[in-house]
Structure 1
Amino acid sequence: MRILHCSDVHITEDYLALPLHRLGWRRWLALVELSLGGRAKRYARAPQVLSTIVREAEAHHVDHLILSGDLTAYALEGEFAGARKALGPLAEDPRRCTVVPGNHDVFTPGSIRSDRFGAHFGQLLHSDLPEYRREGVWPVVRLVGDEVAVVGLHSTRVAPLPAFPYGVIGEAQLDGLAALLKDPRLDGRAVLVTVHHAPRNRKGVADRWNHGLRDADALLRLLPGPRFAVLHGHIHERYHHPATADRPHLFGAGSSTEAGHEGYWLIEVARGQVVGGQQHTPAL
C-alpha cells in the first residue's frame, strides 16, 4: 500500500485587504511575519501547490493521503475554506484522507470556540474504532485496506503567546492509543500515527522546549519497531529516521507548499510493515 504524507500547507488570506479590527492582536503580530518576514510571498501559491499534490496522489495510485496539520496561515475562515477547496473531493472522503490540526489552525481562542477546523473537516474525523476516543473525537482511527491503520492525535493547544507553540498530546489520548494498540483488529497492520508536533527533529533530538512535543517520549515508547511510524509536521524540515527495535519510523513532511521547498513523502507499506519512503517534488 502507498500513503502520501504532506504537511504545513499554510493557505493564506490577503491580510492587508482585511479589516484590522477583525484580526485580533495575535494576527496583528503575525502581520510582521507575513510582510517583513516574507511569509505571505512564500505561500502565495499554496492552494495551487496543494491541488497539484492531490492530483499527483491519483497518479501515484495512493491509497490514503495524510496532512499533518497547519492547513492555514492563522486560522481565518477563508483559509480553511481555501484548504478544503484545494483538497478537492478528498476532503469529503475519510476512507482516502486524514487531517489533524496544527498550531496555526487553532491560532486564536475564537477559532477554537467556533471550531473552524471541525466545521470544514469534521467529515474526516469519524473514527472506525470510536470506542478508543478519549478527548473529543481523538484518537481518530482509520482502517485503510487490510494492511494499514492511520491514527490521528491532537497535539495543538492555544499558546499563551505566539512564541510558545509547543505541543501536548496528553494522558487521555495516550491511554486511548495504548488501548487501541492491543485491539486484535490491528493485528497484521502497520500503524501510522499522525500528530502535528515533531517527536524528534532532523538531528534525531527533541525540539526546543517552547516549540516541541512535550510528551514525545511517552508516545515513542508505545510504538517500537518497523510496524509503526509517526508522521508529523510543524518544524518545516523533511526527513526520515528509520525505525529501530525500540522506536518507530519518523517522517517529517516539511512544509509541502513553501516556495522552493515544495514536496511530500510517498510511504510504502507491505506485509504489515513500513518498508520505506520516497521524497517527491510536485511538478509545478
Structure 2
Amino acid sequence: MPWMTSMRFLHCSDVHITANYLSLPLLKLGWRRWIAMAELSVGGRSKAYARAPETLATIASDAEQHGVDHFILSGDLTAYALDPEFQLARASLGALAEDPGRCTVVPGNHDVFTPGSHRAGRFARHFGHLLESDLPEYRREGAFPFVRLVGKGAAVVGLLSARVPFVPGFAHGYIGPAQLEGLAELVKDPRLAGRAVLVVVHHAPLTHKGRADSLLHGLKDAQALFRLLPGPRYAVLHGHIHHRYHHPATAERPHIFSAGSSTQAGREGYWLIEVRDGQVVGGQKHVPGGTREPARAQA
C-alpha cells in the first residue's frame, strides 16, 4: 500500500535526574531517601548522573536531527521522585515534553519512590499531559493502558509497572490483570490493524541474558504480557536494567528493547528503532550527539 512507509522511534530510559540531596532538609527527605543517599554517595550514583540534564537535552536534540516520528522514555526520570528532579527532566526534554503526539513517557519505580510522591501524583503533575490516549475506552487503571496512534503505521502503548516499594531495595514491578485485560482488547481493535505496536513499560520482561529477572527486581507478569504480543509486529520497550540490549521477536513473543541507562556516565546511549510495513524490523544503538555506537562498545 502506498501509505506504508518506514518510521523511526527514539527509545531512552533511566535518565535519573538527580537533585543535590546534601543541600536539602533531611526531615523533608524522609527515611527512605536517607537510606538511598548511601547509594548516591558511597555507591557513586550522584557522580554518575551529574551531567544527566545536559545528556538528556542532547538526546532530545538528536531526536530532531534524526527526524524521528516519536520519542519514548521508559521511566526513571528522577533519582528519588523529588519535584525539582521532575521539573528539570521536563525542561531537559524541551518542546518534546509539550506534545503527546511526539513524546511518550511512563513512570519508573524511582518516580514513585515514596508513598508521599505517589499520593501527591508527582509524576502526573509534571507529565500527566503525556498520558492522554487516542483510544481512552481501553483504560483500566487510571490512565493506563494509553495508546498513541503514530502516523498510519504504528501505535505506542503505555503501561504502568512501577509500584511504591514496601522498603527500598524491593524494586520489582507488575502490570496487573486490569491493564492486561485492557491491552488484550486494545490489540484487537481494528484501528490498530496493519500497525506495528510498541508497548512501553518500565520493568524488564527479560534480562540481557534472556532470563527472567530476580524476584525483587523483575516484571512479575512478563509471560502474561508476552502471550498478548506474539511476533515481529510487536515490541516491548523498557528500562530498569542498566544494560542496552535487544532480543529479536519469535513466534511466541515480541521484540524486546532495553534502553539501559541513557545518561549514566560512560554508558550513555539510546535506541533508534525502525518500523516498516507494520512490522518492527530492528534498531541501532546511538550515543548522545547522534552517532552510531561503535560495535566494540555494545553491551
Q: TM-score, normalised by structure 1?
A: 0.99
**Separation of aligned partners in 1, 2:246 and 2:254:** 11
Count residues with an aligned counterpart. 284
Q: Which residue of the other structure, out of 194, 197, 215, is the alignment partner of 1:209?
A: 215
Deviation at 1:161, TM superposition (A): 1.1
Helix, strand or coil at the partner of 2:198: strand
Q: Which residue of the other structure, out of 168, 193, 197, is the alignment partner of 1:191?
A: 197
- Structure 2 residue 99 is matched with structure 1 residue 93: yes
Q: Which residue of the other structure, out of 74, 77, 84, is the alignment partner of 2:83?
A: 77
- Structure 2 residue 47 is matched with structure 1 residue 48: no
Deviation at 1:246, TM superposition (A): 1.1
Q: Which residue of the other structure, out of 244, 247, 253, is the alignment partner of 2:250?
A: 244
Point out 4+ residue stretches in structure 1 off by more than 6 angstroms.
none
Q: Which residue of the other structure, out of 120, 128, 131, is the alignment partner of 1:122?
A: 128
Deviations 1:103-124 (A, max 9, x none): 0000000101110100000111
**Separation of aligned partners in 1, 2:140 and 2:15:** 28
Gaps of 5+ in 2: 1-6, 291-299
Deviations 1:224-244 (A, max 9, x none): 000000000001110000001
Q: Which residue of the other structure, out of 146, 165, 173, is the alignment partner of 2:179?
A: 173
- Structure 2 residue 264 is matched with structure 1 residue 258: yes
- Structure 2 residue 166 is matched with structure 1 residue 160: yes
| Alignment-derived partner of residue 278 in structure 1 | 284
Counterpart residue type for residue 43 of structure 1: Y
Identity of aligned residues (%): 72
Helix, strand or coil at the partner of 2:9: strand
Deviation at 1:283, TM superposition (A): 2.5
Gaps of 5+ in 1: none
**Separation of aligned partners in 2, 1:3 and 1:99:** 13
| Alignment-derived partner of residue 112 in structure 1 | 118
CA RMSD of aligned residues (A): 0.7
| Alignment-derived partner of residue 39 in structure 1 | 45
Counterpart residue type for residue 166 of structure 1: H
**Separation of aligned partners in 2, 1:125 and 1:282:** 26
**Separation of aligned partners in 2, 1:283 and 1:178:** 38
**Separation of aligned partners in 1, 2:131 and 2:199:** 14
- Structure 2 residue 148 is matched with structure 1 residue 142: yes
Q: TM-score, normalised by structure 2?
A: 0.94
Deviations 1:66-94 (A, max 9, x none): 00000000000000000000000111100
